[in-house]
Amino acid sequence: MDPTELVARLQGLHAESFGWALSQCGWDEPEAEDVLQTAYSRVLAGEARFGGRSAFRTWLFGVIRRTALEAARRRRKDLQRTVSLSAVQDVAQGGEGPESRLERSEAVRSLRAALRRLPTRQREVLHLVFYQDMTIAEAAAVMEVSLGSARTHYKRGKAGLRKLLKEVGPGERPQEER
């Protein structure tokens, strides 16, 4: 697509795109502005290319959605670092966090270790459904697989995760394959 035509199409869809970005960012305007700017940059730099398999608007909204998901992941990682730093500061100041926090963090570590042992597609669909609150159909679209394939990966992923978690007791970590 010609760059001037691309810019014209982006400009024509700007209001709708901003509304979509807002909804994807939990109505946080500064975050939505950042997400939309990043999405536009990817489109204009050729990192995201319109292949004509759908309407331009549908494709653009997909780019915005993926960009928002990436931004949300970055925010969660930043939050996790902040929470971890807070826990370290609590201990350094002589205070102990509640015992339940330790148990919860051990359970999270066990879950993450088990998830890492699953095949990539199973891990991806479980993440999208459980952590990103997507339907299996939405996860299939993001993963660019058929709905039937996504359902199969979802079902097998849940079964595999259940098996891996039963292999270990609470607080234990499943052996990671290398």
pLDDT at residue number 76:
84
Tell me if domain 1-97 and domain 99-170 are identical in fold: no
Ranges of each domain in the chain: 1-97, 99-170
Quote the radius of gyration of the chain (alpha carbons, Å). Answer: 20
The CATH code for residues 99-170 is 1.10.10.10
Look at residue 156 and tell me whether its pLDDT is greater than 50: yes
Q: How confident is the model at residue 177 (pLDDT cuts 50, 70, 90)?
A: very low
Look at residue 178 and tell me whether its pLDDT is greater than 50: no
Give residue-wise pLDDT tens across range 4-28.
999 999 999 999 999 999 988 888 9
Say if CB 142 and CB 173 are below 8 A apart: no
User: Is the domain covering 1-97 a CATH 1.10.1740 domain?
Assistant: yes
Say if CB 60 and CB 48 are below 8 A apart: no
